[in-house]
Amino acid sequence: SQNIYILAIESSCDDTAAAVLQNDTLLSNIVATQEVHKKYGGVVPELASRAHQQNIVPVIHQAIAEANIDKKDLSAIAFTKGPGLMGSLLVGTSFAKSLAMGLDIPLIEVNHMQAHILAHFIDEENFDKPEFPFLALTISGGHTQIVKVTGHFEMEVIGQTIDDAVGEAFDKSAKILGLPYPGGPLIDKYAKLGNSKAFKFTKPKVGGLDFSFSGLKTAVLYFIQKEVKENPEFIKENLEDICASIQYTIVGILIDKLKKAVAQTGITQIAIGGGVSANSGIREALKAGENKFGWKTYVPKFEYTTDNAAMIGIVGYYKYLNKDFSDFSVTAQARYSL
Q: Which residues bind ligand KG4 (CB under 6 A)?
A: 13, 140-142, 167, 170-171, 182, 184-185, 188, 274-276, 278-279, 306-307
The reply to whether 80 sits near Zn ion by the rule CB under 5 A is no
Shortest Å distance, C-beta 248 to Zn ion: 25
* Residue 159 or 274 with smaller CB distance to ligand KG4: 274
How many residues would you count in the chain? 338
HEC string of the chain? Answer: CCCCEEEEEECCCCEEEEEEEECCEEEEEEEEECHHHHHHCCCCHHHHHHHHHHHHHHHHHHHHHHHCCCHHHCCEEEEEEECCCHHHHHHHHHHHHHHHHHHCCCEEEEEHHHHHHHHHHCCCCCCCCCCCCEEEEEECCCCEEEEEEEECCEEEEEEEECCCCHHHHHHHHHHHCCCCCCCHHHHHHHHCCCCCCCCCCCCCCCCCCCECCHHHHHHHHHHHHHHHHHCCCHHHHHHHHHHHHHHHHHHHHHHHHHHHHHHHHCCCEEEEECHHHHCHHHHHHHHHHHHHHCCEEECCCHHHCCCCCHHHHHHHHHHHHCCCCCCCCCCCCCCCCC
* Residue 181 or 223 with smaller CB distance to Zn ion: 181
The reply to whether 15 sits near Zn ion by the rule CB under 5 A is no
Binding mask 121-150 for Zn ion (x = CB under 5 A): -------------------x----------
User: Euclidean distance between the first and final Cα of the chain, in Å?
Assistant: 31
The reply, when asked if residue 305 is annotated as ligand binding, is: no
Could you tell me which residues are beta bridge partners of residue 6?
21, 76
The reply to whether 306 sits near Zn ion by the rule CB under 5 A is no
Nearest to 46 by CA among 56, 57, 34, 58: 34
The reply, when asked if residue 141 is annotated as ligand binding, is: yes
Residue 106 interacting partner from ligand KG4, Zn ion, none (CB closer than 5 to 8 Å by kind): none
Residue 24 interacting partner from Zn ion, ligand KG4, none (CB closer than 5 to 8 Å by kind): none
Shortest Å distance, C-beta 90 to ligand KG4: 18
**Contacting range for Zn ion; rule: CB under 5 A; set: 1-9, 60-68, 307-315, 316-324:** 307-315
The reply, when asked if residue 163 is annotated as ligand binding, is: no
Residue 188 interacting partner from Zn ion, ligand KG4, none (CB closer than 5 to 8 Å by kind): ligand KG4
Shortest Å distance, C-beta 307 to Zn ion: 5
The reply, when asked if residue 316 is annotated as ligand binding, is: no
Shortest Å distance, C-beta 11 to Zn ion: 12
Residue of 14, 168, 171, 307 that binds Zn ion (CB under 5 A): 307
The reply, when asked if residue 140 is annotated as ligand binding, is: yes
* Residue 106 or 289 with smaller CB distance to ligand KG4: 289
**Contacting range for Zn ion; rule: CB under 5 A; set: 196-204, 220-228, 242-250, 305-313:** 305-313
The reply, when asked if residue 308 is annotated as ligand binding, is: no
Shortest Å distance, C-beta 307 to ligand KG4: 5
Nearest to 13 by CA among 41, 62, 52, 58: 52
Angle at alpha carbon of residue 164, lines to 169 and 287, rounded to 5°: 55
Shortest Å distance, C-beta 329 to Zn ion: 26
Query: Residues interacting with Zn ion, by CB under 5 A?
Result: 140, 307
Q: Which residues belong to the annotated binding site for Fe cation?
A: 112, 116, 307
Q: Which residues belong to the annotated binding site?
A: 112, 116, 138-142, 171, 184, 188, 279, 307
